[in-house]
Amino acid sequence: MSRYGDIGRPVLLLEAYKDWADERRGSDLEEAQTKADFPEFLYGSVSQSMYKGYTKVMPQYARYTAKENLQNFQPHRVRGLNGIRGIGYVGDAGEYPELRRSERPSASLVIDTYGGVYSVTRQATINDDSGHLLKDNPEDMGYEAGLFVNETIMAFIESNPTAPDGDTVYHANHNNAVTAALDETALAAAISAMENQTDEDGRQIRVTPETLAVKNVVLELIANRIIRSQQTGTTINDSTSVDFDKGTDNPLAGILPANAVVRDPYWSDANDWYLFASPRQVPAFAAGFLNGKEEPSVFLKNPEARGALGGGGQDPYTWEWDSVDFKVRLDFGVGVVDHRGTYRSIVT
């Protein structure tokens, strides 16, 4: 008979725990030490699996969302500044004019707490001879946390929230909201609209699109064809075009970076597309994380474990441990920064 389980069915978790404990403390384990070490053993397995699941999501929001490091849960003001102006003539021994910079409406970013609890019961653990409870389930839990962050950020963007100037981010007043399907003409118009913007002082600003975000492979292929193909496939010039002559050579080849297209399945519509400037230069949106920690935190409920009358043998469970409880916690939020850093088309 196995010392860890029923005949013919050894409990692999407890065997692994015993080996781990033997290596750590030596073969002579006291009862109290065994119980005190058990949560640490479980925590290592669960936390590693959870982080592995989180990274499986392959978050790409950093391509179009700035990251803010927040120290608390109070509203965080993202200050908006226009460009410096006032360069003037000095001449020989002349007086230098004073440069000045005006402020635009600042954005507000607030973080909050999100999370969940994952419990492993004593019987479920003892019956688990394949490691699902401490490997697959935590990994799925980490994956869920990663999905939650991505889906929350994208749902916020798609909701078209109010920008600091009082209009929604995508608004006719901002000249950044259309309904055109993605093609050469629509993309050229979008890039032109982003590049030909002005600040609150009416001065030209430079907003260079860097990311073209789509939902699925079909639109990704179309987008890459537009910005990478050297030829359009057209064999004659389109002299009747009112937009521009596409001709044989592709005039949009290289107009965006080669890696500009980002396919993210968390967008809700397969036909819509978004342009974003670099979040390091003109961030349209920002995601805030407490103390800059993007990954979820994992915690283990750890009561002081002691047997009332000694005994217990190899069983590390006690009065409070008919279940072992793990908590995953995220402290983050998302907000609008500057509508000039984005453009979208909701295709009709």
Q: Where exactly are the structural domains of the chain?
A: 27-78+105-345
Distance CA 231, CA 249 (A): 4
Q: Give CA–CA dist 337/119, Å, rounded.
A: 39
Q: What is the pLDDT of residue 215?
A: 95
d(CA 295, CA 288): 12
Burial class (CB in 10 A: 0-12, 13-18, 19+), 323: middle
Backbone conformation region of residue 120, classed left if phi is above 0, alpha if psi is from -120 to 50, else beta: beta
Q: Look at residue 96 in the predicted model and tell me its pLDDT.
A: 85
Confidence at residue 309, expressed as pLDDT on a 0 to 100 scale: 37
Q: Residue 90 is which amino acid?
A: V
List beta partners, residue 70: 290
pLDDT of res. 59: 76
Nearest of 277, 281, 326 to residue 300 by alpha carbon: 326
pTM (whole model) above 0.95: no
Helix, strand, coil: what percent of the chain each, to 5?
Answer: 30, 25, 45
**CATH code linked to domain 27-78+105-345:** 3.90.1690
Question: For position 140, what pLDDT does the model report?
Answer: 84
pLDDT values of the chain reduced to their tens digit, one per residue, 348 residues? 333 333 333 345 555 666 666 666 554 444 444 445 666 666 777 778 888 888 888 778 889 999 999 999 988 887 665 667 778 888 888 888 887 766 767 788 899 999 988 777 777 767 765 566 667 778 888 888 888 999 999 999 999 999 988 999 999 999 999 999 999 899 999 999 999 988 777 778 888 899 999 999 999 999 999 998 876 655 555 555 555 555 567 778 888 998 999 999 889 999 999 999 999 888 999 999 999 888 888 877 764 443 333 444 445 554 455 676 778 889 999 999 999 999 999 998
Q: Which two tokens stand for residue 186?
A: 């629509």
Q: 313: closest CA among 29, 21, 23?
A: 29
Q: How far apart are CA 216 and CA 270, in angstroms?
A: 6
- SS3 of residue 76 by DSSP: strand
- pLDDT on residue 29: 44
Tokens at 12, concatenated: 């692999």
Q: List the alpha helices (DSSP H) in 229-341.
A: none
Q: Which residues, 6+ apart, have CB-to-CB distance to 315 below 8 Å?
A: none
Say how far apart CA 279 and CA 68 lie, in whole Å: 11
State residue 112's pLDDT score.
Answer: 94
Residue 169 in tokens: 């981010």
Nearest to 269 by CA among 229, 219, 201: 219
